[in-house]
Structure 1
Amino acid sequence: MATRQSGPIGRPRGFDAEEALERAMLFFWEHGYEGASLAGLTEAMGISTTSMYAAFGNKEELFRKALDRYTEGPSAYLARALEEPTALGVAAAVLAGTVRTTTRPAHPHGCLGVQGALATGDSGQAVRDLLAAWRTNGCSQLRDRFQQAVDDGELPPEADPGLLARYVTTLAFGIAVQAASGIGRDDLQEMADAALRSWPLA
């Protein structure tokens, strides 16, 4: 008597999770957290709401995963900039990276980490807090790098690493907002170059 073969346990996912997450990141980047409806997200991702919840969790969890992808992808210029041999090189690389990332023709303009939750209701408080922590973490990494430059004598001893870090991050966030408003890449880079002409040197 023939035996019946058992099929695979569970249904195959049927979609590329990495590709779906990439599309979700771009959708959040363009519309912000609150502006990204579930219907819009799932349509952009090419999956059903049921599949989205099964693969990524709820909207907030999906956003957290999208922000991680943004950090490791479009925003990875920060990690590369920290490896520059001089503090001025770090600052210049951060601003140049911001200009490039926020003005790419094939991507939404602006920065997911800056504009992602500028206007949200009470339900978006956790996402606002998440993005505030994301921005603070970037500033802290710069502060530590500039402290190293002071310790190494590459920045003058009176330089304030925390102030310099806030200066660079404020410039970067301003660039992102300007880019989202339609200011062009050349104009933004010119502004970044001008802002670094007063950089302290040992």
Structure 2
Amino acid sequence: MARALFDRDEVIDKSIELFWQHGFSASSMQQVVQATGLQPGSIYLAFGNKEGLFREALERYGRKSLAWIRDVLDGAPSIGEGICRIFEENIQASMKQNYCSCFLVKTQLELAAEGNDLHELAAAKLGEVEALFCSYLEKEFEKERSEQRAVSIMFHIFGMRVYGYQPDSADRIRQGLRTGLPWLPWS
């Protein structure tokens, strides 16, 4: 059996960039080949098909997102301050001209009508993000309040991610967050 002569994570990262910009449906196999530098046979052998590669891209993006959230929350003086930092970093990212929103949110929006396995995977990954926020909030609040606040955080993240880049919108986004999440320690 032939052995893969490429860095799997690097290929998946390149695929994330492609799928993030164009979505699953609009990314052709020719674009996948060009983005990854692999021949079609290598892609099919390693990932099964474009859907298999997309699935691994969603999984990797989800893991990296969870790790980033943990790092920010673990490094913050309080859970609330960490959440504020996460929102601020998302605001800063959304102000860039090449802003691409969130890969998981974009996947959910793109594939919502189809309701396929990829849509369900993106929804599950977003559920993991919500559960992570809830687990951290439970360090400071009771379970029911933590669950409600985690849902509220996700609504605001979705809103920010869909709202996207608009010149001079950072202050409006910050004000919307402060109004919608008054329990956070905004500075």
TM range (shorter): 0.7 to 0.9
The residue number in structure 2 matching 1:183 is 166
* Alpha-carbon offset, residue 111 of structure 1: 0.8
1:148-184: CA deviation from partner (whole Å, max 9, x where unpaired)? 1126xxxxx9x811121111111112111122xx324
Displacement after TM superposition at 1:27 (Å): 0.5
Deviation (angstroms), 1:82: 2.6
Aligned partners of 1:50, 1:177: CA distance in 2, in Å?
A: 36
Partner of 2:174: 192
More displaced stretch, 85-94 vs 186-195 = 186-195
| Deviation >6 Å, runs of 4+ | none
Alignment map for 1:116-127 (pairs within 5 Å): 116-120=107-111, 122=114, 125-127=116-118
Q: Residue 139 of structure 2 aligns to a residue in which SS?
A: helix
Equivalent residue number for residue 149 of structure 1: 140
1:187–1:102 CA distance, 2 compared to 1 (3 A): closer
Ranges in structure 1 where 5+ consecutive residues have no aligned partner: 1-8, 152-156
> What is the alpha-carbon distance in structure 2 between the residues aligned to residue 79 and residue 43 of structure 1?
34
For 1:22 and 1:69, how far apart are their aligned partners in 2?
A: 8
How far apart are 1:80 and its partner, in Å?
A: 1.7
Whole-Å separation in 1 of the counterparts to 2:11 and 2:184: 45
User: Which residue in the other structure is 1:162 paired with?
Assistant: 147
Larger radius of gyration: 1
Cα distance between partner residues in 2 of 1:101 and 1:69: 20
Aligned residues: CA RMSD: 2.9
Find the partner of 1:27 among 18, 21, 25. Answer: 18
The one-letter code of the counterpart of 2:177 is: A
- Number of the residue aligned with 1:93: 85
How many residue pairs were aligned? 181
Corresponding position of 2:57 = 66
Report if the CA contact (8 A) 1:143-1:164 is conserved.
yes
CA contact (8 A) 2:81 2:184 kept: no
Name the aligned partner's letter for residue 118 of structure 1.
L
| TM-score normalised per structure 1 | 0.74
Query: In percent, how many aligned pairs have the same letter?
Result: 23
The CA distance in 1 between the partners of 2:78 and 2:172, in whole Å, is 21
Q: 1:96 to 1:77 in 2, by over 3 A?
A: farther
Q: Residues 22 and 66 of structure 1 are in contact (CA less than 8 Å); yes or no, is this contact kept in structure 2?
A: yes
- Choose which of 146, 157, 163 in structure 2 pairs with 1:172: 157
Deviation at residue 26 of structure 1 after TM alignment: 0.1
* Mean CA deviation greater in 130-139 or 79-88: 79-88
> What are structure 2's unaligned runs of at least 5 residues?
none
Alpha-carbon distance change, 20 to 168 in structure 1, aligned in 2, over 3 angstroms: same
**Counterpart code for 2:106:** Q
Query: Alignment partner of 1:82: what SS?
Result: helix
Deviation at 1:29, TM superposition (A): 0.6
SS at match of 2:116: helix
> How far off its partner does 1:30 sit?
0.6
Distance 1:88 1:148 in 2: 11
Deviation digits for residues 17-58 of structure 1 (CA, Å, limit 9, x no counterpart): 333222111001111122222222122212221111112232
